[in-house]
Amino acid sequence: MLDLRYVSENLPEVKAALLRRGFTDAELLDRLGRLSEERRNLIASVESLRQERNEASQAMAKISDKTSETFQAKRDRLRALGDEIKRGETKQVELEGELETILLNLPNLPRPDVPDGRSERDNVEVRVWGDQPSFGFQPRDHVEIGSQLGILDFERAAKISGSRFVILKGLGSRLNRALMQFMLDVHTSEHGYEEVWPPVLVKDSAMRGTSQLPKFAKDAFRIAKDEEWEAQADARGHDLYLVPTAEVPITNLHADEIVAGSDLPLAYTGYTACFRSEAGSYGKDTRGMIRVHQFDKVELVRFCRPEQGETQLEILTGHAEAILQKLGLHHRVVELCAGDMGFAAQKSYDLEVWLPAQNAYREISSCSWFGDFQARRMKARFRPDPKAKPQLLHTLNGSGLAIGRTVVAILEQNQQADGAVTIPEVLVPYMGGVERIPPVS
């Protein structure tokens, strides 16, 4: 959420910045400006009425004879004053509700250094790591490889849960588990993150804190979705969302808190299953496990002082990238253009891993710096030093990494002519010594 005061006082700049990311509703911003002005005037008048009432009320307390005519007269006058205050308060609640609705639907402002652009085609390649693996044969895609090795089962997943689900089996399941362990181990013991195992069902306030709500409700799975179910008395207390990413519960760790400046930066890593409805992605990546309703991910979350944000983003991106490097997976880093960034981000890097069967780089991690955008929604603050006033934190997060897509990349990049897949060396200990998933004869 943007700062109301900042937006009201800098309308032209805000319009220009939002335009860069394709937000063209200038009228909405003008309306916000008018409402903000109205609110300010209203507050001034209501407060002076309240002051008048407070002073008069105190005088009332000093009148000993509560039945006297003067007391009665004053009381009647104050009753009218009280009504007037109430009307003003009601109006204020209305205005602030409208303002909040607008603010909750405004995306973050891209940093000035974020490149212009409308879509992912305009993203800027920052660096490429490793070489494209070359095969002496036509590389197959992970669906083919996984099905043949008996480690991925899409048919049975569809039977049980529908489309866009996958079942991992045998060494495939083990690989998934090994990756989770490996990533968490690296981030905790080498990168200094504190490990967190959070709930995967969260309240709407948490979803609002990190900006999945209110704008992207269609993308999330919600418990108590239909009205009939919701109407049941038993359903109360279960209005929860399945997390689309561990970012939600982990970032909200410090919602409504004031942390000590001396504790910053804070760094957390955690694994969760992630659930996404993939609304509006019909026909996109329907094959395989690139885009499924449920996947596993290890997430990195950092909290810092505003002035640390820029550096922290580089650090966090490096931590995510280190996983790809240790796994020996060819990939590149791109900086997202203004038009391709997520709603809450003010600057983002994507890590894209090479998928030979698609002859393309595909996103495997997105690392973002949100400024105080999420912190304002969450009321997550820090005290710069013990005497100072609290300030909004800056938040960052990134996948470290999406495990499903990592499995895909390993299968595709490490496939052998005989149909086997080699296990990256760093994972072998986590695989109980298994060095390759053998071909089925």
- Count other Cβ atoms within 10 Å, centred on residue 251: 30
- Interface map 72-111 toward RNA (x if CB under 7 A): ---x--xx-xx----------x------------------
Is the Cβ of residue 57 or residue 119 nearer to RNA in the bound state? Answer: 57
Angle among Cα 252, 221, 346 to the nearest 5 degrees reads 45
Amino acid at 274: C
- Please select the residue that binds RNA; options are 12, 136, 162, 237, rule is CB under 7 A: 237
> Which entry of 20, 140, 276, 332 is annotated as an active-site residue?
276
Distance separating alpha carbons of residues 350 and 352, to the nearest angstrom: 6
Is the Cβ of residue 71 or residue 135 nearer to RNA in the bound state? Answer: 71
Q: Single out the segment in contact with RNA by CB under 7 A; choices: 20-28, 290-298, 381-389, 428-436.
A: 381-389
- Interface map 2-41 toward RNA (x if CB under 7 A): ---x----------------------------------x-
Query: Is 291 one of the annotated active-site residues of the chain?
Result: yes
Q: Is 236 in the site for RNA (CB under 7 A)?
A: yes
Q: SS3 of 213, please?
A: coil
Q: SS3 of 335, please?
A: strand
Query: Is 405 one of the annotated active-site residues of the chain?
Result: yes
> Which entry of 31, 53, 291, 383 is annotated as an active-site residue?
291
Q: Which of residues 307-366 bind RNA (CB under 7 A)?
A: none
Q: Is 54 in the site for RNA (CB under 7 A)?
A: yes
Do 245 and 274 form a contact (C-beta atoms < 8 A)?
A: yes
Burial group, residue 220, by CB count within 10 angstroms (0-12, 13-18, 19+): buried
Q: Is 234 in the site for RNA (CB under 7 A)?
A: yes
What does the buried/exposed string (b/e) look like for 284-313 if buried means 16 or more CB atoms within 10 Å of the residue's CB? eeeebbbbbbbbbbbbbbbbbeeebbeebb
Beta-carbon contacts of residue 351 (< 8 Å; ≥ 6 apart): 317, 320, 321, 324, 331, 332, 333, 363, 364, 365, 366, 367, 399, 401
Q: For RNA, how many residues bind (rule: CB under 7 A)? A: 33
- Please select the residue that binds RNA; options are 57, 205, 281, 325, rule is CB under 7 A: 57
Do 183 and 177 form a contact (C-beta atoms < 8 A)?
A: no
Binding site for RNA (CB under 7 A): 5, 40, 43-44, 47-48, 50-51, 53-58, 60-61, 66, 75, 78-79, 81-82, 93, 234, 236-237, 258, 381, 383, 386-387, 389-390
Residues acting as catalytic residues: 276, 291, 363, 366, 405
